[in-house]
Amino acid sequence: MSKPRPRWDQQASQPVVTRVTRSSSTKASETQLLQPQASGPSPDRVQPRKQTDSVLAQGLSQMTMSGQEAHPARKGRPFKTSSSNSGSPPAQGGVSLGSKQRPRGSREGLASVARLVKLGRCKNVVVVAGAGISTPSGIPDFRTPGTGLYSNLKKYSIPYPEAIFNIDYFSEDPRPFFSLAKELYPGFHRPNYIHYFIRVLHHKGILLRMYTQNIDGLETVCGIPDDKLVEAHGSFATASCHLCYTPFPAEDAKSTIMSDQVPICTFCAGTVKPDVVFFGEDLPQKYFQHAADFPKADLLIVMGTSLQIEPFASLVNTVRPGVPRLLLNRDAVGPFLKTPLRRGDHVQLGDLADTVRTLADMLGWHSDVARLMRAQEDGVGCQCHDGEFSVRGPEEGQRAGEEGGP
């Protein structure tokens, strides 16, 4: 049963509100681009043409982003789209970009950014992160050949890899996603050095916001406050019916899924799923803070992402001209593939955890990151005053946690 779509009636008395949906901008999805039908498409989307392997591939059809407002009937969750603007091959983790691959960066870019931070010129840092920041925690990224999630989905018997996160396919058969969800649910992995480095940015008072594509919840586990975090592709923290959007207790949904059963909505008998944003679903309302955040940024750090999923990928282009942008990645991606780079852009390629450790050393923050990690593992609290960290005893840490302290 496919998800009902609202009518886009130009003659309606109420104004038509455009929506934005999630989609992949990889070359693979470009071959699935579907042409407008002769009768004319809806004002906000390209109409699908059936693929030979499965009619359910319609859900990966590319959408044109014509606005950023949420439709009121969708719980205020904005709608995701794709724009095939880069034409670059997919890259995540260790994917090679062939002739477009930039040389591995020297430390000059890191040193330049570290110098700006130490001089106090970066007071509003925005971090854009993808699956690559969680691979040191043992969670595979999506597109690395051989090890990426999309390379290891044969056991789920799906027509194409992205189908497992496609809302139309889920409507027809939720079992493949629920099988995968049992492996993805938070609680089986721990944050790593990269997560705690970002938390140190917060404790230093310079993290404006972190925008993450990840659904693993490790940013929250490591202590990044909710008001500093935008989980652009949702999370497992809440659940709802995928048809009527009635909220469903997240723990009940988890226990049902873990028992190899399908959670059912008590209101409409639709299938309940965690509020992870699928291709074709609305973005969380919180995502649209970007309209205010990115113009304020005086430093953008991009790490562990292929910049292949829209509209998230285009966020990196919305900072003011000349604002430093630092890419920490295994491969050059998106606008960082250009030669020459835009003024203020810096690229450091290589193992992400090693690169972040190097940057922390340049900033003199390694001991702070290590102290936070030890405190978290030991179950004690960690306070920060004027940029200096102190570890509480176990009783103090427990009491501060109950009181909502850092």
Type and span of the H or E element at 400: helix 394-402
pLDDT at res. 108: 85
Confidence at 188, pLDDT banded by 50, 70, 90: confident
- Of all residues in the chain, the percent with pLDDT exceeding 90 is 52
In 279-371, which ranges are E strands?
299-303, 309-310, 325-329, 345-349
- Tell me the pTM: 0.71
- 63 burial via Cβ count (<10 Å: 0-12, 13-18, 19+): buried
Task: Give 138's pLDDT tier (boundaries 50, 70, 90).
Answer: confident
CB hemisphere CA count around 46 (13 angstroms): 22
DSSP letter for 93, please.
T
Return the minimum-mean-pLDDT range out of 140-154, 272-286, 289-303: 140-154
At 200, is the pLDDT very low, low, confident or very high (cuts 50, 70, 90)?
very high
Q: Which residues are catalytic?
A: 233
Alpha helices, DSSP H, located in 133-289: 167-172, 175-184, 193-203, 218-221, 250-258
Which tokens sit at 252? Answer: 């009940």
Range of lowest pLDDT (31-40, 185-194, 231-240)? 31-40
Position 125 confidence tier, pLDDT thresholds 50, 70, 90: very high
Q: Is-cis flag, bond preceding 41, omega within 30?
A: no
Mean pLDDT, rounded, for 190-208: 97
